[in-house]
Amino acid sequence: MSARVIKQFEQGLVFRFGKLQQAVRGPGLTMIVPGVDSLRKVNMQIVTLPVPAQDGITRDNVTVRVDAVLYFQVSDPAKAVINVEDYRFAMLQVAQTSLRSIIGKSELDDLLSNREHLNQGLELMIDTPALEWGINIDRVEIKDVALPESMKRSMSRQAEAERERRARVITADGELQASKKLSEAAATMDQTPAALQLRLLQTIVEVAAEKNSTLVLPFPVELLRFLEKNTAIENKREDSSD
DSSP-assigned beta bridge partners for residue 55: 65
Pick the CATH number of 47-147 from 3.30.1360.80, 3.40.640.10, 3.40.605.10, 3.30.479.30: 3.30.479.30
Confidence class of residue 155 from pLDDT cuts 50, 70 and 90?
A: low
* Contact by Cβ (8 Å): 106, 58: yes
Nearest to 194 by CA among 228, 220, 218, 222: 222
Averaged pLDDT for residues 186-191: 68
Confidence class of residue 211 from pLDDT cuts 50, 70 and 90?
A: low
- Is the confidence at residue 3, as pLDDT, over 70? yes
* Contact by Cβ (8 Å): 12, 24: yes
- State the pLDDT at residue 161: 67
pLDDT digits (tens, 9 = 90+) for 29-49: 999 899 898 999 999 999 999
pLDDT digits (tens, 9 = 90+) for 46-70: 999 999 999 988 888 888 899 999 9
* Mean pLDDT over each residue of the chain, to the nearest integer: 82
Q: What is the C-alpha to C-alpha distance for residues 126 and 68, in angstroms, rounded to an integer? A: 13
Q: Does the reported pTM lie above 0.75?
A: no
**Percent of the chain residues topping a pLDDT of 90:** 39
Averaged pLDDT for residues 186-190: 68
Nearest to 140 by CA among 158, 126, 161, 159: 126
* Mean pLDDT comparison of 70-84, 112-126, 212-226, highest-scoring range: 70-84
Q: Higher-confidence residue: 189 or 140?
A: 140
- State the pLDDT at residue 213: 59
